[in-house]
Structure 1
Amino acid sequence: MKTKLKISLLVWNLSTNDGFIRASLLKSALEKLGYETEILGFLFNKNLSAAIPSDTKLFAIEGGNYPKFFPAVNKVLKHIDGDIIYAIKPQIASFGVALLKSLYSRKPVILDIDDWELSWHGGDNWRYCPTLKQLARDLLKSDGALRSPYHPLYVKWMEGLVNHADAVTVHTKFLQQRFGGMLVPNGKDTSLFDPAQCNPDSSRSRYNLSEYRILMFPGAPRPYKGLEDVLIALEKINQPDLKLVIIGGSPYDDYDQQLQQRWGRWIIKLPKYPVDAMPDLVAAAHIVVVPQRDTPETRAQFPLKLTDGMAMAKPVLSTRVGDIPEILGDTGYLVEPSCPEQIVKQIRLIFENLESANQRGIKARQRCVEKYSIEVMASKLAPLITNLL
């Protein structure tokens, strides 16, 4: 006999980390509230994302293009047994499946939106206007575009059904203005990311970084993340002990290799480490850099690297894009996006006043605990779940 209310978190594609991280944060917050949880989803590339910890418990079914996708959906539908279904992203493979389950089970559906999915395809300007011949090819050929469950046409449909969810959560004000719902910013495990548990000098020694002044980007490089602007700034400063440390590299493409080829003298690349090692890695940084460029995609995002640096009491250097200025408040260093010259000035300012910068980092830690912790996420979710019941 069930003693706890159970919430099923449905992730559209467990072959990537896109959606899983947000699901895992929501899972932690819901468990703080005493709910039982499960993560379910599809594998569109057969294997789990390498970024998902190996000890993570989840239910994963191999997905695929239509019509192979239909029996996979049926298997997931049978396995969903939560009292509430929490769909991560307005995708057919998450929100669409959740709505289908709700049709005959009457279980409430929460939709979480952590990206503007259509922005990756041109946003409001995207249109699907095929000729009859092209439509037939897209539907009937084995590699036809509409055979893919995550074609932008289906994303557009799902975004049009947002008001069919019983509740909506978002993690930025940009998304809230677009889709409505409750603002639930990403939380950080501030007991794990605790600078009191780490010694920066020891951390630098452990990763062979002791002889350098470290700017750290603890994530996967992508063009919109602005690392080129930091590397151009380092080239302008031209001090050999300044290094940009990138952790893990890109699982998506060879972009980090392109950066290495052009700016290799300024880059130190460290391998991927498990989540519980990340606080020790971030402790090695002098500055955490989050130089987002200004695009429709980035305006909707809440970069998790921000709270990595904030929780570890590091000076955070970022850009005035989306919610970033509000997330940092007066505890970070902000420049305009795509502006290496301003990055140069801020790097020099930080290292010329490092004690003051570190004090600002301590304020950033306090702000993270007060506004962007797992406990804060839980406090925001509590009334929403109660209302659904």
Structure 2
Amino acid sequence: MVLRIFGMSFIVTVVSLIVAFLYGGPTALALAAILGIMEVSLSFDNAVINATVLQRMSEFWQKIFLTIGVVIAVFGMRLVFPLAIVWVTAGLNPVKAFDLALNPPADDAATFADGSKSYETLLTDAHPQIAAFGGMFLLLLFLNFIFEERDITWLSWLERPLARIGKLDMLSVVVSGVALVLTAEIIAADDDRATVLVAGLLGMITYIVVDGLGSMFHTEENTEGPSELAKAAGKAGFFLFLYLEVLDASFSFDGVISAFAITSDPIIIALGLGLIGAMFVRSITVYLVRKGTLSEFVYLEHGAHWAIGALAVILFISIGVHINEIITGLIGVAFIGAAFITSLIRNRRADAEEVEAEREPTPVG
């Protein structure tokens, strides 16, 4: 199973590294490998969340996510989307933006003599609105999870009280709205306040629309059986697919910005983050679904959502303060690791109790 699931990712990795070597020699090969490793290590929480959604989709839509979704993730989010931001924010045509990305100045100046800006600087300047949009989307995802009552809780001392107050209608929207206003007023620069508010509002609208449509069609199309056993198909599958792509965008663009600490070459970024990193993240997602890992280690989903909540907060803070991407990655790894370990302890305890119950003598008569 491992070879079948990860086989294509290994093939793509080898081909990508060869292309990187032909494109820029040993340096490009090393940079692509580093970016691929960085993307996989920082995106495990993304894979866990993807798996929770993917297991609700029909086989057809799972295949769509693993084919068309890969194309969107690799070329759309890691190559075209950054270029599109440069087109819009700098008013450059696509050809000029791509040329600027491929041919940075020799001295890597942020601003040229004529007042124009480098590709990296233009992308960095767009960070506040991207962080506000992605942070709001991820924060709503986290809040809607944590405000919902569940049979199994991880941080019970905190999750159960939050679930009780979560019975208030639209509480997640209220909390996220307050967080957005505070971010714009306290963290964002004066010139960025309006932009941050608009971008955050668009992130909120996007989450509500996509999540709402997915839930509505999932309910309508599965009225003949229990929803937890049904697989979303048709319109429900499409909106879950759309939901996954927006979620991936919220995770990935911050990674693209972070990649510029290593290289500003969009080709190497597309090879490392996109082809290598995105393929392995999707393979990990499929592995989690096929192996039933989320059912076996029940706290993983909780840990991933807490990691997402932390990432949302980090995105908001990063609007005004630079935060090293290593810190972001370590927080995600810490939550996922803690959730895995506590799940393992829970399983061993349950097994021990089961063995103990079997040893107890059966009452006679």
When the two structures are superposed, what TM-score results if normalisation uses the length of structure 1?
A: 0.25
When the two structures are superposed, what TM-score results if normalisation uses the length of structure 2?
A: 0.26
| Greater length-normalized contact order (CA 8 Å, ≥ 6 residues apart) | 2
Q: Which has the higher strand share?
A: 1
Q: Which has the higher helix share?
A: 2
